[in-house]
Amino acid sequence: MIIGGKNFDTANHTYIMGILNVTPDSFSDGGKFNGMDAAIAHAHQMVEEGVDIIDVGGESTRPGHIQITDEEEIARVTPIIEVLKKEFDVPVSIDTYKSHVAEAALQAGADLVNDIWGLKYDKKMASVIAKYQAACCLMHNREKAEYQDFLKDFMDDMKECVRLAKAAGIEDDKIILDPGVGFGKTYEMNLEIIDKMEILNELGYPVLLGTSRKSVIGLTLDLPVTQREEGTMVTTVYGVQKGCAFVRVHDVEKNKRAIQMTKAIMRGHEV
């Protein structure tokens, strides 16, 4: 899989997508990197720690978030993307579900569109991605956590995301799937899909796991956002064991070490 001119061996490696929120109200680091200097400094740190993709978000998608206009979101993300592409040799992702924002970000140099609605929110999103021949990450989501048969319904939803992508002309080697932990699911459903995420493998696309600091970890461990690092790393290790090609995290260095250690144990050994 080629993203931003970089070759990703998704069958044999687990890569890190580092989160760069340039929002004042992100659930985990709201306002912390809401400014050019702070954002670029954080990106520099992630690059030094070995990040593989930098995911730029201009609107919080936490539960109860306030939607902003396309224009405001574009104003937040495009200057950051332009600088990232000039200063670092790392692919850049835009975290948005709006086609106008995605197109502006792609024009600014973004290489991948990370859509939390899996092409279902904005009917123009799939065609924009196809137009720029960009990679995309399609996440599972629902407005309400209501299912007849959770895993079957989940897979039907993901198949629809793929159908929308294919209908728009997005190539197979440009598609990543995300089970959508924390979106449109109950606490138990979130645990279930982490445990059963390998069912996505039957669709034949690389899988991205995004659990970093999320409520499923906070509820399990009864910990605030600032103390969910270890819980996140456990899910990263679990993702590696399940064959995930990408993990989307806030803490690059520690999760990269966890991946490296897990891979060392899993590989064949001559004793």
Beta bridge partners of 138: 115, 177
Q: Which residue in the list 98, 120, 174, 214 is annotated as catalytic? A: 214
Q: Annotated catalytic, 85?
A: no
Contact 208/244 with Cβ under 8 angstroms?
A: yes
In the numeric block, which tokens belong to residue 121?
């929110």
Pair 31, 25: CB distance under 8 Å: yes
Residues 102, 114: Cα–Cα separation, whole Å = 9
Catalytic site includes residue 248: yes
Instruction: Read off the tokens for 25.
Output: 């109200």
> 19: number of CA atoms within 13 Å, CB side?
23
Q: What does the DSSP 8-state code read for residue 10? A: T
Which sequence positions are flagged as catalytic? 214, 248
